[in-house]
Amino acid sequence: MRIALFTLESLASAEAVHAFVAAAPGRVVLLGHSAPDQGAQLRRHWARSGVTMLPYLAVNFSAPGLLRRRGRLSDLCRANNIPAYRVRDVNGIETAAALRAARPDLILSFHFDQIFRAETLALAPLGGINVHPSLLPRHRGPIPTWYSLAEGGTGVSVHALAPRIDAGGVLEQAEIALPPGLSAGGAARALHLAALPLLERALARLPDEPVPAPILPYCPFPDARALRRSRVRLTALRDWPASLFAPAGGW
């Protein structure tokens, strides 16, 4: 199977993405990594969630300067001869051209922050699937582990991509017990790693039809009041293994 993998540079998913590629590097024929307008994102999340959200955003989405070289997407692609490009618009002409050139059978979204339109998914014969660190249909949205820890019930789902956030039918799902005291960021790392065997089972089942699921309310970034009232931490340094980080002096 030829797979076009879409992800972003993040401590929450770096280990899992690398492990997935290492398991069978020849099947990944394209890697698109998100290149959002970080300034606009920062202003939007700050307006909604306040300064409490800033460490989470810094640790999870400004990771390229923190990751060791063996954890960076650029090094992953070079080591495995995978064509790569920065995705500014996953539904734009650049993405369409890259997909047509790579000729993937399947689009895989693995911790990716853009929504695929139907015409983009149609460029792969098997469409697309997504790894989501919650028990869908609960906790659709960008930070599901915070809601899962706050409300109970942590797990991971592999589901079909649809032109609506986390709304496609489920292919594989499992409840995952996590160590007590994890932050939302640490839980995301653990759940992305736990998703790997489920992802392999989902790939083996294709083109089976996913199980339809009801669409429950979308869970956005929590607002400042919810963050103040919750005991769930967004991120904690002890949740991240030292092996992910570059030494203090850089490389």
* pLDDT single digits (tens) 203-239: 999 998 888 888 899 999 999 889 888 889 888 878 8
Helix axes 184-205, 14-23, angle to 10 degrees: 20
Q: Measured between alpha carbons, how far is 216 from 173 in angstroms, rounded to an integer? A: 17
Give domain limits for the chain.
Answer: 3-240
- Coil, strand or helix: which one is 171? strand
What phi and psi, each to the nearest 5 degrees, are found at residue 55? Answer: -60, -40
Q: Is the pLDDT of residue 251 over 60?
A: no
Tokens of 131: 């790894």
Checking if the pLDDT of 174 tops 50, the result is: yes
pLDDT at 248: 46
For the chain, the distance separating the N- and C-terminal CA atoms, rounded to the nearest angstrom, is 36
> What would the pLDDT profile of 16-63 be if each residue is shown by its tens digit?
999 999 999 899 999 999 886 666 777 787 788 888 888 787 777 665
**pLDDT tier at 69 (50, 70, 90 boundaries)?**
low
Per-chain mean pLDDT for the chain: 88
Distance CA 159, CA 173 (A): 8
pLDDT at 250: 44
Q: Could you give the angle at the alpha carbon of 168 between the alpha carbons of 90 and 140, nearest 5°?
A: 85
- For tokens 């909604």, the residue is 48
CATH 3.40.190.10 fits 3-240, yes or no: no
Q: Which residues pair with 190 in a beta bridge?
A: none
Cα gap 6→16, rounded to integer Å: 13
How far, in Å, CA of 163 to CA of 181, rounded? 35
Query: Which residue bears the tokens 């017990």?
Result: 177
Neighbours of 131 (CB within 10 A): 26
Contact 202, 129 (CB under 8 A): yes
Percentage with pLDDT > 70 across the chain: 91
The confidence score (pLDDT) of residue 75 equals 83
**CA dist list (Å): 104 to 99, 176, 205:** 7, 31, 17
pLDDT greater at residue 11 or residue 189:
189
Q: Each residue of 87-141: pLDDT tens digit?
A: 999 999 999 999 999 999 999 999 999 999 999 999 999 999 999 999 999 999 9
The stretch 67-72 carries a mean pLDDT of 65
Q: What is the largest CA-CA distance in the chain?
A: 50
Query: Average of pLDDT values for 70-84?
Result: 83
Residue type, 251: W
Backbone angles phi, psi at 110, to 5 degrees: -130, 90
Q: Please compute the mean of the pLDDT values over residues 67-81 and round it to a whole number.
A: 78
Instruction: Kindly state the DSSP code that residue 7 receives in the 8-state scheme.
Output: E
Strands 155-160 and 128-132: antiparallel
Tens of pLDDT, residue by residue over 3-15, are 999 998 888 898 8
